[in-house]
Amino acid sequence: MSKTGRQTRKKAPVGLLNTFSSLLLQVVTIINGFIIPRLILSTFGSETNGLVSSLNQFLNYVSLLEGGFNSVIMARLYKPIAKGDKETISKVIRTSTRFFRHISYILIGYAIVLAFIYPLLSNNSFSYSFISSLTIILAIKLFSQYCFSFSYKNLLNASRRGYIVYFSQIILTILDAVSAILIVKFFPNIHILKLTSALIFCLQPIVYHHYVNKYFKIDKKATYDNKLISSRWDGLSINVAYFIHSNTDVTLLTIFTRLETVSVYGIYGLITTGLRNLVISLSNGIAPSIGNLYAIGDEAELNRKFDLFEFIIFFITFSLFTIGSLLITPFVMIYTHNVTDVSYCEPLFGVLFLLGEAVYVIRNPYVRLAYMAGKFKDMTKEAYIEAGINILISIILVQKLGLVGVAIGTLVAMTYRTVFQIWYLRDHLLNRPFMRFVNRFAAFAIPTTLGVLLCISVFPITEYTIKSWIVHALIYCGIFVIIYCTVSYLFFRKDLQTLKAYIKQRH
Tens digits of residue pLDDT in 19-78 = 788 888 888 988 998 899 889 988 998 889 889 988 988 898 887 777 667 777 777 787
Average pLDDT for residues 436-455, to the nearest whole number? Answer: 92
Give the C-alpha separation, 107 to 136, whole Å. Answer: 10
Model confidence at 233, pLDDT cuts 50, 70, 90, reads: low
Model confidence at 503, pLDDT cuts 50, 70, 90, reads: low
Give the C-alpha separation, 22 to 274, whole Å. Answer: 12
Three-state SS at 94 = helix
Model confidence at 255, pLDDT cuts 50, 70, 90, reads: confident
| CB 139, CB 195: distance < 8 Å | no
pLDDT in tens, 113-133: 999 998 887 666 788 899 999
| CB 145, CB 203: distance < 8 Å | no
Between 3 and 197, name the one with better pLDDT: 197
- With vertex at residue 262, the alpha carbon angle to CA 256 and CA 263, rounded to the nearest 5 degrees, is 155
Average pLDDT for residues 78-87, to the nearest whole number? Answer: 82
3-state helix, strand, coil in the chain (%, to 5): 85, 0, 15
Q: What is the pLDDT of residue 140?
A: 93
| CB 101, CB 406: distance < 8 Å | no
From 386, 280, 334, select the one nearest 25 (Cα to Cα): 280
Average pLDDT for residues 460-487, to the nearest whole number? Answer: 94
pLDDT in tens, 206-230: 999 888 888 888 888 788 777 766 6
Check residue 188 and give left, alpha or beta (phi > 0: left; psi -120 to 50: alpha): beta
| CB 248, CB 388: distance < 8 Å | no
What number of H helices and E strands is found in the chain?
Answer: 20, 0
Model confidence at 292, pLDDT cuts 50, 70, 90, reads: low
Q: Is the pLDDT of residue 455 over 50?
A: yes
